[in-house]
């Protein structure tokens, strides 16, 4: 994380406190700290939101993948991202850059079967967010 102007201080409960010089460095550090605390979970959630979980991890995910494709989740995520301001897109990119930088620096911290999801892209974040609301609205 040397290329970014931010500091992450971890308290005794494992909560990251981020001190950054600007929003992009904040979001980069937030992505980094999320991977540090929940890397495998993030990879699983983003892989599922892509509608590729059955490709990555087996046929038990097939029905969910088909449903997400029928709902056009990925297309909705891409449209949502493209309709955002340049500043918002930059923040999504900074967040995913932090995720990917952590994954690259700490390859041993991520389960082998979950590495297939890398690299994470900004639309993955929106796809997961959209998927979350689909499942929680039914």
Dump pLDDT digits (tens) for 36-54.
999 999 999 999 999 999 9
Mean of pLDDT over the chain = 93
The number of distinct structural domains making up the chain is 1
Confidence of residue 118 (pLDDT cuts 50, 70, 90): very high
72 in a structural domain: yes
Q: What is the pLDDT of residue 5?
A: 85
Q: Identify the DSSP state of 22.
A: S
Is the model's pLDDT at 1 over the cut of 60?
no
Is the model's pLDDT at 97 over the cut of 50?
yes
Residues 75-84 have a mean pLDDT of: 93
Range list of β-strands (E), the chain:
6-10, 16-20
Residue 26 structural domain: 6-137
Residues 106-135 have a mean pLDDT of: 91
5 vs 45: which has the higher pLDDT: 45
For residue 14, the tally of other CB atoms under 10 A from its CB is 9
Residues 119-130 have a mean pLDDT of: 93
109 in a structural domain: yes
Cβ contacts of residue 107 below 8 Å, gap of 6+? 115
94 in a structural domain: yes
10 in a structural domain: yes
86 in a structural domain: yes
| CATH code for position 62 | 1.10.439.10
Q: Which residue has the tokens 């991202």?
A: 81
Cβ contacts of residue 108 below 8 Å, gap of 6+? none
1 in a structural domain: no
């Amino acid at each position: 994380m040397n290329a970014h102007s931010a500091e992450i201080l971890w308290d005794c409960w494992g909560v990251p406190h981020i001190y950054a010089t600007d929003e992009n460095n904040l979001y980069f550090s937030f992505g980094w700290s999320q991977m540090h605390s929940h890397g495998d979970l993030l990879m699983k959630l983003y892989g599922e939101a892509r509608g590729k979980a059955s490709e990555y991890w087996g046929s038990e995910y097939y029905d969910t993948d088909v449903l997400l494709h029928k709902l056009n989740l990925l297309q909705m995520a891409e449209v949502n991202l493209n309709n955002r301001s340049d500043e918002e897109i930059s923040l999504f990119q900074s967040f995913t850059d932090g995720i990917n930088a952590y994954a690259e620096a700490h390859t041993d911290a991520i389960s082998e079967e979950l590495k297939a999801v890398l690299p994470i892209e900004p639309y993955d974040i929106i796809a997961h967010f959209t998927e979350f609301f689909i499942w929680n609205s039914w």
